[in-house]
Amino acid sequence: MDIVRRNTDYAARLMVHLAKHYGNGPISTRTAAAEEQVPYQLACKLMQKLNNAKLVTSCMGPKGGFVLGAEPSKISLLEVVEVIQGPISMNRCVLNEDACSRKTICTVREKLIDLQKIITKGLAAITLDELTRRGRSNRNTGKRKRIKQ
């Protein structure tokens, strides 16, 4: 099972789509879903969730659609993940204090808590803003492979 689930991936695509068109008025779910290859009915449900969480704002009626709830640079991938699939959980004992009776004698738990923090911070650092920038977004990671032959 993937950490980022399919629906979350769909939602991320839709959010990036909105980010790309930020400032140009509402984008209908139908067109966003079509362009981002997300099943339309599913897209509707996902947009509802995002709307409830105020990550987007709905505009009903013809010529309606959704607009980002904030600037692309203010919305992180972590927020999308948490809205769609809930918080990241390294193990059941990490979020739920009394999920495991062995908590007090367990040596693994603390390690997993540390790791979870790292993951969460990593996702929080990815903004929609940078996800709209194609090709040049990883210029400062020292990674540059992809030199065309």
Partner DNA sequence: ATCATATAAGATAATATATGTCTTATATAA
Partner DNA sequence: TTATATAAGACATATATTATCTTATATGAT
CA dihedral 8, 34, 62, 26 (to 10 degrees): 60
Q: Binds 137, which of a copy of itself, DNA, ligand SF4, none (CB < 5 to 8 A, cut-off by type)?
A: a copy of itself
Per DSSP, the three-state class of 59 is strand
Q: Binds 103, which of DNA, a copy of itself, ligand SF4, none (CB < 5 to 8 A, cut-off by type)?
A: ligand SF4
What CA–CA distance (Å, rounded) separates 18 from 54?
14
Considering only 45-53, 57-65, 92-100, 128-136, which stretch makes contact with ligand SF4 by CB under 6 A? Answer: 92-100
Q: Which of 20, 21, 28, 109 binds DNA (CB under 7 A)?
A: 28
Q: Which of 21, 45, 76, 113 binds DNA (CB under 7 A)?
A: 45
What CA–CA distance (Å, rounded) separates 70 from 75?
7
Q: Which of 51, 91, 116, 132 binds DNA (CB under 7 A)?
A: 51
Q: Name which of 28 and 130 has its Cβ closer to a copy of itself.
A: 130
Take residue 83 and report the two structure tokens written for it: 């809205």
DSSP secondary structure letters along 93-137: HHHSTTS-TTGGG-SHHHHHHHHHHHHHHHHHT-BHHHHH--SST
Q: Binds 120, which of a copy of itself, ligand SF4, DNA, none (CB < 5 to 8 A, cut-off by type)?
A: none
Phi, psi of 129 (to 5 degrees): -45, -55
Interface positions, 97-126, toward ligand SF4 (CB under 6 A): 100, 102-103, 106, 108-109, 112
Q: Name which of 26 and 127 has its Cβ closer to ligand SF4.
A: 127
